[in-house]
Structure 1
Amino acid sequence: MIEAFAKLGPTTEGIQKPGVGSAAAWLAHIDLLKYVIQSDLSSALIMEDDVDWDVNIKDQLSKAAETVRNHTGAPFEEQNPYSSNWDVLWLGHCGDIPRDNETFTFFQDPTVVRHSAYEGFAAGYLRDHFPEGQRAVYKSQGAICTYAYAVNRKGVRKVLEYVSGGQEQAFDTKLFHGCRSGALECISVNPELFRHFTPDEKFGQTSEVDKQNWGGEEKISKTAEGEKKGGAAAESSKYSVAKKITGTTKNIKESARCKALWDTTCTGRRESITDMIKNIAFGHS
């Protein structure tokens, strides 16, 4: 079934087919969208299994929900706390650069990372267009990576119909093109509230998608074999202290995953003294 889905549609120049790992992940998204319809849920948040979030996620989502309602002009009697005036609500992504002249609704959030600590392709845009300490809600046409996205009863059938045909490199790029083309009505919260946790690079690739797409199993096997030859000293230095075996969650100030496992934050790049001076010099206080 996975191989058949990966080969759906004609072979057309410019249209990429998903790899085996991407096709398997894509089918899992389709199954979850079907489940939302079959269960007649009013809304659902779909998260990838390596996702992470801030320990303050409840407060973050409460503010985001109010801002989404305001931005979409939800009537008072609308019962969905995030309104229903969208097909996809993109809460977790690896970046989103809005179109020119986009209309933003900002909200204050003390848990958002500083611009100088934000990592990803959208870092420059956020620095130049977003106030420090604030997140924005707007019509999404540039989000990529489906770490966490919501669907609702009104739009989930439209989303399912759009993504079920395959013929794209991965599920997230298919959804991205649906939002950009206007086939789907999408709303983003940016900077993101959910992000994937990345294990320490010495462990190699651990994603089931990457294992099947890029030979991660072999990479992990070679890494383990090399450490085995290194003897007891190498084994001890790497695994004896559990708190040192941590990865990172970019753009999340206080990782819930790392708080639970190692009582640490696992943030990505920290703001340096140089960055702080630059922020002050350019008015990003």
Structure 2
Amino acid sequence: MTINNDFGTSYIPTTLKKLSQISSQERLYGNTYTGRSSPAEINRVANDTLGFSEIFVVGLPERSDKRDALVLSAALTGFHVEWVDGVEGETIPDKAVPFGINRYSVTESNLGSWRGHMNAIRRIVEEDLESALIMEDDMDRDVRLRSQLEEIAKGSRMLLNSASSPSSPYGDGWDILWIGHCGEPFPEYLDENKNKPGDRPGIQYMKRRYAIEDNITVPPPDRTTGMIDFHAHPYTRFVHICAAPICSFAYALSQSGAQKVLFDLSVDHLTGAFDNALAGLCRRSVSSVGEENPDNDRGLDTKCISVTPPVFFHHKAKGFVSGDSDIHETASGDVREKGTTENIMWSARNNIYDMIMDGEMESQF
């Protein structure tokens, strides 16, 4: 199986071993899981930083409830995180607000969120890290995350025609690997691309996808949320060229990717809320592939890979509904009796007790 290097063909491969064919005796979660992939270097995604140099979690220090839950669920599913304190927008002086943004056109909480993410991204550059995964502090995922990441790594390597021995298990050449978001279309369906001729090199590039079929970690189509037709591709997860995801739940940056984001979302300018600005960078890049842009704006040629449906999603914890978000305030006094997470089958957050007690995992759907 190969992908045409000149982007002349659309290629939709499937994994050699469908996830539905995995033996029930294969335990795909827990600290003892070390991977099952070939080539063997892909199994580095099962280490305690999920195949990245570091994992950074951005969150306000006073939200000790979120830190307790994330640290515990991460330990039980086999990875370690470093914390980056979130920022209150009111503490950012006007002089530090980037060119192009009017602080009064965004909420102070959005401005603080942007700065918290930028502080994590700056650490990648400062510490000369090869890569880092950055996530928000209320993230949930399937307890089988590391086995999911093996398939994602295979897809990323194929999409980018990675060398046979890349330095990263996810392959070389990517800048942003967006694995947690609220949804996105495929890039050829963006307004600026949908009327381009199908034989254009850029369109062929956008249509590249790696399909993980019969995937037991994907919910039923009517319980999967996003912006594509999941009924047309039931129980399938795609690794694909990124369009413009909504929400910055979890994303990885390479060193080159961190440099591009630090420049485009801080040093040079800022256009809006962090997740929209990051999506805009990927959108400008993918839409310029194979095109002559008179403005010479190619989104810094940022190589963005995405996963749909995502493998990280915002967890709505049991307790007061008002505690869900530190960006969007609500005065509701409603209480949620059981936590819930969209798009996740065996929720790590909801299976903490069962992992501690070595019990059977509970499915959400």
- Give TM class, smaller chain: 0.7 to 0.9
- Indicate the percent of aligned positions where both proteins have the same amino acid: 29
**Residues 7 and 17, structure 1, Cα contact 8 Å, conserved in 2:** no
Q: 1:168 to 1:247 in 2, by over 3 A?
A: farther
- Structure 2 counterpart SS, 1:149: strand
Per-residue CA deviations over 1:87-107 (Å, capped at 9, x if unaligned) read 110000110111235221112
Does residue 234 of structure 2 align to residue 116 of structure 1? no
**Residues 247 and 266, structure 1, Cα contact 8 Å, conserved in 2:** no
When the two structures are aligned, how many residues end up with a matched partner? 236
Deviation at 1:206, TM superposition (A): 3.2
Of residues 92, 104, 110, the one that matches 2:209 is 104
Deviation at 1:39, TM superposition (A): 1.5
Tell me, in whole angstroms, the C-alpha distance in 1 between the residues paired with 2:101 and 2:145. Answer: 43
1:133-212 equivalent positions in 2, closer than 5 A: 133-164=235-266, 167-182=270-285, 183=299, 184-199=302-317, 203-211=321-329
Tell me, in whole angstroms, the C-alpha distance in 2 between the residues paired with 1:208 and 1:4. Answer: 22
Does residue 118 of structure 2 align to residue 33 of structure 1? no
- Structure 2 counterpart SS, 1:31: helix
**Residues 43 and 150, structure 1, Cα contact 8 Å, conserved in 2:** yes
| 2:92 matched residue in structure 1 | 2
Deviation at 1:142, TM superposition (A): 2.5
| 1:55 matched residue in structure 2 | 143
- Structure with the bigger RCO (C-alpha within 8 Å, sep 6+) is 1
**Residues 136 and 250, structure 2, Cα contact 8 Å, conserved in 1:** yes
Deviation at 1:163, TM superposition (A): 1.3
Deviation at 1:43, TM superposition (A): 1.0
**Residues 147 and 194, structure 1, Cα contact 8 Å, conserved in 2:** yes
Of residues 148, 153, 166, the one that matches 1:65 is 153
- Structure 2 counterpart SS, 1:45: strand
Of residues 110, 120, 123, the one that matches 1:22 is 110
Deviation at 1:199, TM superposition (A): 3.3
1:241-280 equivalent positions in 2, closer than 5 A: 245-260=337-352, 265=362, 267=364, 270=365
Q: 1:125 to 1:4 in 2, by over 3 A?
A: farther
Deviation at 1:166, TM superposition (A): 5.6
- Structure 2 counterpart SS, 1:127: coil
Per-residue CA deviations over 1:139-188 (Å, capped at 9, x if unaligned) read 10121111100001232101111111564331100011111111122110
Of residues 227, 231, 241, the one that matches 1:127 is 231
Q: Greater share of helix residues, 1 or 2?
A: 1
Q: 1:31 to 1:10 in 2, by over 3 A?
A: closer
**Residues 115 and 127, structure 1, Cα contact 8 Å, conserved in 2:** yes
Tell me, in whole angstroms, the C-alpha distance in 1 between the residues paired with 2:97 and 2:105. Answer: 7
Of residues 84, 89, 95, the one that matches 2:177 is 89
* Ranges in structure 1 where 5+ consecutive residues have no aligned partner: 225-237, 239-243, 271-285
TM-score (norm 1): 0.74
